[in-house]
Structure formats: C-alpha cells, structure tokens
Amino acid sequence: MEIVNTFSDLGNIATHTPCLFFYGDSILVLKQQDKYTLPSYQQINFKLNIHAAFFISSNEGVQLLVADLNDTHIPNEFILENIKSIYQYFNNLERNWIAKTFGYMHWYRKHRFCGMCAGSTELDANECAMLCPNCHYHFYPKVNPSMIVLVYRGDEILLARSPHFPPEMYSVLAGYVSPGESVEETIMREVKEEVSINVKNIRYYASQAWPFPNTLMLGYYAEYASGELQIDNKEIEDAGWYSADNLPEIPRRISIARRLIANFSTLPRALPISSTTAFKI
C-alpha cells in the first residue's frame, strides 16, 4: 500500500491493523459472497491515492488506520459501499469502530480551514484537535445530541413517517437539541411542532451513537398528555397510533428506534419520582 499526501508520519504499521478507508459517505470493504469485512493493512496490497491518513485508538485500545481516499480505483474484490446501507452487516465491535472513525473523519474534513480567521489548520501534535497556527484557535471533535422518543397512549404507540424515509416505513419521533435546551424541552417542543400534541412523564431509556454523521441519539419514552394529532406536513407526512399487534414497517434492528418499540411492552407504566425533571441553569 502506498500512502500519498499523508499529513502525518504513520511510522511502521502492523499487518493486522484494521483499515477504515472512506470516500465521501462510503467505506472500503472486502466483499466475499454476501459477507462484508473491514480489510486489514496486509490485505490492502494495491496502490491507493489517499488524501489523509491517521491512527485512532478504539475504546478497546485497538489501533485503527483511518484514511480519506482521493479516488475510487480499487480491485474487484473490494467495494466502496454507503456506510448507512452496510452498517447492519457488521458486528457491534466493528460498528463502534466505523462510528468512531467516520465521526473523526467527518470532523477532520470540516475543519481544514479555520472558522475564525479562514487560515489553514493542522492536527494538533498534543491533543485531539485541529489547530489554527495563525490565530491559535482549537477545533475539537463534536457530537450532535438528538432526542428520539416513543410517545405512548395506553397500550398504543405513536409512529410517524418522514418524507425522507423508505416507502412504507414508520418510526418514532426524533429531533436535534437546540442551544439552551434540555433534552426534555427538546422532546416537548419537537413533539408539539411535528404532531401538535403535548407529552408528560418523560423517561430516559438508552443512547446510541449514530454516525451519519456525528449524532448521539438519546432515547426516551413519553406519555401522551393532551391535544389532537395534527401533522406539520414538513418533517412529518403521516402519523398515527398503533398497537403492538398492528405495526407498520419499522426501522431495522440496529437502530435505537427499533429497540424503543420492541421494549415498549415491558415498560413499567408506574413512574419513578422526578422522572421528568430537567435541571436548569
């Protein structure tokens, strides 16, 4: 493998090092029958034109070689596949690697120039940041918090369709946290904006990194409080109440949306004290 135009000295690379190479929103994978695998450094035995390359340690301490490709000339056994469409074929460990490295790569791509003085930036030698040598501003990796909420009314759950969804698919509501908001406030605002109803008894469930790109999904349950369903016809094109035995097509198993729906039947309806309290500054 030949690294072209790398911006850092990678030194010696172990042959078993997992390689996560991106081109736009696609990732380089080995395809054998219907199985996708991340290539090791040893398997990348062909010339690649790479714009940027660096190491990132996984949460388990595995060194991952991450690169941004300049072109798409690759051998037949390899394929560049859209990350979102291929994500489900990897195991939890590999999904964590992809989420982390694609998040960093996205951050790197967006911060090659300083937003304060418009000068060129470079990777800081001492910490994980892009540094502007001109004005000394640091740009750190960021994630975008987004709430995702299953709203229920008795034994029914609220499912809605975004115009961007695949045909026939419905899901729970979601939306990004705005500056100055608690997540609880985001939930109340977004639900009201999108389907005109009020919710109460908001309870946290779990979170999921969603690297398309850099989103942290914060999963909640909320109980219907008041109002008539009325869709906004912008972010939502259809919505309705569904029972567990009459669900439309819902998101794939890897998503926290699916887990919120699957877990609903076991959700204790009695609420813990202070479950809806958000701390204010």
* 116/262 with CB nearer Zn ion: 116
Given the complex with Zn ion, which of 97 and 139 has the nearer CB atom? 139
Binding site for Zn ion (CB under 5 A): 114, 116-117, 119, 132, 134-135, 137
Q: What is the DSSP string of the chain?
A: ----S-SS------TT-BEEEEETTEEEEEEETTEEEPPBGGG--S---EEEEEEEE-TTS-EEEEEEES-----TTEEEEEHHHHGGGS-HHHHHHHHHHHHHHHHHHHTSB-TTT-PBPEE-SSSSSEE-TTT--EE----EEEEEEEEEETTEEEEEE-TTSPTTB-B-EEEEPPTT--HHHHHHHHHHHHH--EEEEEEEEEEEEETTTTEEEEEEEEEEEE------SSS-SEEEEE-GGG--B---TTSHHHHHHHHGGG--SSPPTTTT-----
Q: How far is the CB of 107 from Zn ion (least distance, A)?
A: 17
Shortest separation between residue 31's beta carbon and Zn ion, angstroms? 42
Q: Which is nearer to Zn ion, 16 or 142 (CB)?
A: 142
> Smallest distance, Å, CB 89 to Zn ion?
41
For residues 75 and 115, which CB has a smaller minimum distance to Zn ion in the complex? Answer: 115
Distance CA 30, CA 120 (A): 35
CA–CA separation, 191 vs 173, rounded Å? 7
Closer Cβ to Zn ion, 89 or 137, answer by number: 137
- Shortest approach of Zn ion to residue 45 CB, angstroms? 40
Which lies closer to Zn ion via its Cβ, residue 117 or residue 247? 117
Comparison of 109 and 153: residue with beta carbon closer to Zn ion: 109
CB of 117 to Zn ion, least distance (A): 3
- Report in angstroms how near the CB of residue 29 gets to Zn ion at its nearest: 37
Question: Considering the complex, what minimum distance in angstroms separates the CB of residue 116 from Zn ion?
Answer: 4
